[in-house]
Amino acid sequence: MSEASATQTKLDEKAKKQLLSQNTSYFILKEKWWDWGGGDIYDEKGLPIGKMHRKVISLRALTEVTEIDGALVFTINKKLVSIRASYVIKNPQGTVLGRTNRKILTLFRPKLWLEDEDGRKLLKAQGNFLGRDFKISDSKGSLKAKIGKSDFFNDLMFGGLFDFSDTYAVKILDPEYDKKLLLGFVIAIDNSIHDKK
């Protein structure tokens, strides 16, 4: 193998491991430490591709999402003045990518949406009974992703009391859609529905 071929192979392998790679069709989010929002992000093969770092002393529940090497991909934080749980997703330069909102009167089948800065709906998430699973679609109703929470029984029976980690599986159905928005929306859904810290 020539030196140029070896270099290209290394670059291709690195691209495959990047958090927002075109090749990623699943995200597995594994939270740690009693639902505090920090943890690891894996691909469908169980390989680590990113991290979630929750700032412990932060009124806004700031979470930084990074590549495995620590490069910042985006942040997500809670809006302080809001009658319902609302989160803001920003790129590393601080530009708002989207804001989440939650429909208030949907206790058993939660519904959330992601809007741009002008209030246009980008994505909608409809949960099944008690918000264990969600389907994410765009403003035209085209399905973009599915989310499954794997420790639902523990949350239901023990209220998360003995839950040392949450695990979400996110299946990407549209590889062309902005994975940063999808991943940020999933973290916001978790924070809104399951995490009470």
What's the number of domains the chain is made of?
Answer: 1
In a domain, 183, yes or no: yes
In a domain, 1, yes or no: no
What pLDDT score does 182 carry?
Answer: 93
* CATH number of the structural domain spanning residue 101: 2.40.160.200
In a domain, 6, yes or no: no
| pLDDT tens digits along 4-26 | 665 555 555 555 458 888 888 88
Domain range enclosing 43: 13-193
Q: Chain-centre distance of CA 144, in angstroms?
A: 13
| pLDDT tens digits along 152-187 | 444 444 444 444 457 888 999 999 999 999 999 998
In a domain, 7, yes or no: no
What pLDDT score does 137 carry?
Answer: 96
Cβ atoms 150, 135 nearer than 8 A: no
In a domain, 3, yes or no: no
In a domain, 2, yes or no: no
In a domain, 29, yes or no: yes
In a domain, 40, yes or no: yes
d(CA 5, CA 104): 55
